[in-house]
Structures are given as C-alpha cells and as structure tokens.
Structure 1
C-alpha cells in the first residue's frame, strides 16, 4: 500500500499547474464583536462525493472553530457551497455566536441567500438562513 502512495506522490510532484497566481485580496478581519465565517466546498463527480469546510475567526484573526465534513453524495458546486454556508450557520449557533458574517467564493450562492431565492434547487436550505 505504501508503495502506491509514494508512487502517487512522485507522479503528482511532476504535474504542471501553470503559473502561480498572486492573491489580489487578503483576509480582512471583522469588526470588534463580530466573527467571520469563511466557507468553501469541494466536489468530485469521479469519486461521487462532496465535502464542505469552514473556519470561524474573531476580530483578531484568531481561529475560534473549524470544521470539515464529507457529504454522502456528489452535488453541484453551487449547491455544495450553500450546504457549506448552512453548516457554518449551524456551527455558529452551536457556539452561540451572536454576530457573524460570511465569506464565500460563490457569488451565486450568496446572491441566492440575499435574494431569498426560495424557488430554486436549494430554496429549502436557504429557508434555514432566514
């Protein structure tokens, strides 16, 4: 088994991912008394699974909590991002955080939540945000 892992690493170490992009923006801490929840997701149609992750930081940038969670199936990137946001809400509620803001790289998911898009494919999940 270890030989396969070593071979996989050796093979992947030679991949060319193209030029490294510099980040145009950096993480900005929230105001005093507010926690920021950054969420992201990953989906693999090949392996038939998706996963979500989030990190909660305070106004000093200190990590308060982090969570990653595999899902039971493969979902679209947009739906998986909404699930990640929902999990962030649940984690914030469990930690009894009174004021939070979210960051996500899915503009469509954020707009759907802000617009209260109940009629789309993930409207039932959005109801939990309101």
Structure 2
C-alpha cells in the first residue's frame, strides 16, 4: 500500500510495515473525545506561526492525522491517531501508550508505522497520513 504523508509543505510517499496492537473504536469517549480529533477542528498556530485548518482528503481516501506526545521524565510516549473520510466523518481514533524509544522524530515515525498497520488491517486501499513533524516528513 502506498501512502501520502503531509506536514506543512512537505509531501512524501512511503510503504508500511509491522502491526499495531491496540485500537480504540469510536464510541470509547475516554480516548476519542480527548484526542479532539487531533485538533482538526481548531485553528491553532503551526510551528511557522500560520494557522492550521483540517482539510478533507480526496473522495475515496481515508486521512489519518497522527501525533506523538513524549514524557521524557517518565520515559513514556503516547501515539495518537484519528482517521476521517472525505466527508470529514470520524471513522476511528486510537492511541497507544508506549515506552519511550527515541526523540520526537523517532516516536512520530513509529506512530505513522502503527497507523499504516491499522489501515492495512482495516482494508483501506487509499490512505493519506498527516503529521505535524515536518522534520520527519522531510526525511521520508
């Protein structure tokens, strides 16, 4: 499966590998509500100081917004993701609490890999990944 990854002005295609281990379907409000669908409905300043607004993917494409939140003091990280269709409807949100394996770029890459594994398990054929880690996307 090919995948498009977007961050700021960077766009990269890459392939998946590995498998995910924990998914929270919509309806588990403890995670899905708190994720705020990864800020897609808010206009928050980006790293460059510009406003960021969620835009839907093309028809037939599932867009997955991912993020990794690091707690360096406790050596923990939370990978979070929200998948939406081209109509803007939430399909699924999920989160993985993990032991910290690296810096922000490493953790964001692992979150992307887990999200792609989930997309494969779900049988999604066209997937667009969005990440706020421009440094990582530029390397892909």
Instruction: Give unpaired runs (5+ residues) of structure 2.
Output: 1-42, 46-50
Other-structure match for 1:65: 92
Q: Rg bigger for which structure?
A: 1
Counterpart for residue 107 of structure 1 = 134
Question: Within the alignment, does 1:98 sit opposite 2:125 as a pair?
Answer: yes
Normalised by the size of structure 2, how large is the TM-score?
Answer: 0.62
Task: After TM superposition, list the pairs within 5 Å mapping 1:1-130 onto structure 2.
Answer: 22-23=44-45, 24-73=51-100, 75-113=102-140
TM-score scaled by structure 1? 0.67
Query: Contact 1:51–1:68 (CA<8 Å) still a contact in 2?
Result: yes
Q: CA deviation at 1:107?
A: 0.9
Structure 1 unaligned runs (5+)? 1-20, 114-130
Detail structure 1 runs of 4+ shifted over 3 Å in the superposition: none
Q: How far apart, in 2, do the equivalents of 1:22 and 1:81 lie?
A: 19
Q: Return the alpha-carbon distance in structure 1 between the equivalents of residues 75 and 131 of structure 2.
A: 23
Query: How many equivalent pairs are there?
Result: 93
Relative to its length, the structure with more strand (as a share) is 2
For residues 87-106 of structure 1, give each alpha carbon's deviation from its aligned partner in whole angstroms, at most 9, with x where no partner exists. 11011001110001111000
Which protein has greater RCO, CA pairs closer than 8 Å, 6+ apart? 2
- CA RMSD for the aligned pairs? 1.5
SS in 1 for 2:74: coil
CA contact (8 A) 1:43 1:74 kept: no
CA contact (8 A) 1:82 1:109 kept: yes
More helix by share: 1
